[in-house]
């Protein structure tokens, strides 16, 4: 069974995504910040990691750089609703770190699910 880690400081978004992917048969863990996420991905293996960019206590860029060092950037999806600047600015920066995909919030769930399936198939 494939595993996904969802990292976002929005608890409702984490719950919605967790439920949506569990309904498709995935095992899903969630984290509310980069520090919590790091403790998870250092202990467990994930097929796909979905991370928000702007979060307290370890932002998404820190997560992406860490995953890149681990050779996991091609399994990482960056999401953002913006912050001090537009979501596009953050997502363009994330693309420079070779993430598999970027998505603006609000998320297009069918497109996100298709991208997750594509990443998993590419690494099977």
CA distance 26 to 5: 10
Q: Measured between alpha carbons, how far is residue 81 from residues 4, 45, 87, 103, 122 in Å?
A: 21, 27, 5, 9, 27
pTM of the full predicted structure? 0.96
Total residues belonging to the chain = 124
Mean pLDDT to the nearest integer, 92-103:
94
Mean pLDDT to the nearest integer, 25-49:
97
Give domain 3-119's CATH architecture.
3-Layer(aba) Sandwich (3.40)
Specify which residues 7 forms β-bridges with.
Answer: 31, 51
Q: pLDDT tier at 82 (50, 70, 90 boundaries)?
A: confident
Burial label, 76 (beta-carbon count in 10 A; 0-12, 13-18, 19+): buried
Mean pLDDT to the nearest integer, 55-73:
95
């Amino acid at each position: 069974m494939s595993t996904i880690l969802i990292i976002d400081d929005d608890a409702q978004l984490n719950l919605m995504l967790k439920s949506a992917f569990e309904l498709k048969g995935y095992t899903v863990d969630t984290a509310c910040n980069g520090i919590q996420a790091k403790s998870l991905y250092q202990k467990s293996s994930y097929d796909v990691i979905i991370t928000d960019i702007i979060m307290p206590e370890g932002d998404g860029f820190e997560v992406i750089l860490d995953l890149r060092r681990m050779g996991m950037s091609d399994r990482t999806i960056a999401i953002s609703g913006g912050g001090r600047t537009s979501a596009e600015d953050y997502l363009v920066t994330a693309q420079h770190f070779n993430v598999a995909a970027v998505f603006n919030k609000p998320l297009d769930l069918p497109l996100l699910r298709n991208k997750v399936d594509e990443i998993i198939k590419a690494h099977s």
